[in-house]
Amino acid sequence: MYAVIGAGPMGLASARNLSKQGLPFVGYELNNDVGGLWDIDNPHSTMYETAHLISSKRMTEFREFPMDERVATYPHHAELKQYFQDYARHFDLYRHYRFGTRVVSVTPEGEGWRVTAEKDGNQDSRYFDGVLIASGTLHTPNRPTLPGQFEGELLHACDYRDPVLFKDKRVLIVGCGNSACDMAVDAVHQAKRVDLSVRRGYYFLPKFIGGRPSDAIGGKLKLPRRLKQRLDAWLIRMIIGRPSDYGLPDPDYRLYEAHPVVNSLVLHHLGHGDITPRSDIASMHGRTVTFTDGAQAEYDLILLATGYKLDYPFIDSALLNWRGAAPSLYLNLFHPHYDNLFMMGMIEAAGLGWEGRNEQAELVALYLKRRAEGHPAARELARLKRERAGQSLDGGYHYLKLSRMAYYVHKDSYRAELAKQRQALQ
């Protein structure tokens, strides 16, 4: 019997693939329904009312369960909540889950794991042959220490739900990732003033090129890495220009060496003066913020769109082979020492989608099946994961040394390695 922790996209994919292989399991989910962060009614979700996918539906969906044709190209979170509920019903996954249940601890016991969980104030524990951790990566906010004291509202993006928050306020949004830019665009229609504090340069991509989703264009012709970076960067400059054309810093790294911002609306509003670009914060006093370029402004609200930290509070980080900002694993998935502990979905890659994560789940379920059978390919994979833990599948890209990039991979290199290992286990 196996435990699956989480009923978001990765947890459901894990459950689906265990079921396909005939492996018994119990799912644990803190919320009362499936969908994870895509269920805005989940009190633990970091979703906000205006959120949509930043990748197109055909590049994101599970291959064996396509989204309805009526669903938007870049679906709203409500459509995705419905999608995951339909997925769970279609594959009969609901009956395997214990909903409204918090996993308190996961500890090794003999050849397996002891999982202690709590529901309605009552705890129970159960022994499992293995554990698949699929609780997500966007739960624990990264709250940087700011210089000085601010007397207005100071919130993190995880606290944001509705644009009404910005009504008639002078707003400073700190950060320039995809969520930060979404929130800045939301604020334009409500706030007295919207400023965007940006430390480093970002590449900006439009959601559509020639009426087609930009992530669905190209890919058939495999170009050398450096040529692709130059060609795509040139194409983007021709379409939307450089960030410095809008008052933002230009990136000091090549395209695809950090996650791009898929949002051209923020550039539209910067170009129209609806959003004012600001440099990094140097100091704060009262409601006055001084920036590193010497500029000053007063604010009623500072919203920290500064991302999230990996956090698995129910298990000792030492058990996850944690190194630096993330666990050191083979394929971001396999523990080098434990043959029955898996980090599902601890991965980011441009264009990977949920199908790429489903391929993770396929490999794990197949490995568990073959391991139980004593198959030599399972023994070989056990050897490989000990040798290759922490090996980078970056495809030659020099990813920025940031915490949020610690589990970033090159999509094609990663999926090729997954396919190679799945084929070996067939």
Mean local confidence (pLDDT), 161-187: 98
Burial tier of 296 (Cβ tally within 10 Å: 0-12, 13-18, 19+): exposed
Mean local confidence (pLDDT), 308-334: 96
Residue 126 CB partners (closer than 8 Å, separation 6+): 3, 26, 114, 115, 117
- C-alpha 101/C-alpha 114 separation (Å) is 16
User: What is the residue-wise DSSP string for 325-383?
Assistant: TEE--BTTTB-SS-TTEEETT--B-TT-HHHHHHHHHHHHHHHHHHHHHT-HHHHHHHH
Q: In which order are the strands placed within the sheet that holds 97-99?
A: 97-99, 25-29, 2-5, 130-133, 341-343
Mean local confidence (pLDDT), 27-40: 97
Mean local confidence (pLDDT), 213-221: 81
Over residues 236-275, the pLDDT tens digits come to: 999 999 999 999 999 999 999 999 999 999 999 999 999 9
pLDDT over threshold 70, residue 64: yes
CA 103, 105, 106, 109 dihedral sign is negative
- C-alpha 225/C-alpha 410 separation (Å) is 11
pLDDT over threshold 80, residue 218: no
Q: Residue 349: phi, psi to the nearest 5?
A: -165, 135
Question: Do residues 213 and 56 touch, judged by C-beta distance below 8 A?
Answer: yes
Over residues 382-397, the pLDDT tens digits come to: 999 999 998 889 988 8
Please, what is the average pLDDT of the chain?
Answer: 96
Residue 149 host element (H or E):
strand 148-150
Mean local confidence (pLDDT), 105-125: 97
With a pLDDT cut of 70, the percent of the chain lying above it is 100
pLDDT over threshold 90, residue 219: no
- C-alpha 199/C-alpha 41 separation (Å) is 33
pLDDT over threshold 80, residue 221: no
* DSSP 8-state secondary structure symbol assigned to residue 95: G
pLDDT of residue 220: 66
**Which amino acid belongs to residue 308?**
Y
- C-alpha 409/C-alpha 330 separation (Å) is 12
The pTM of this model reads 0.95
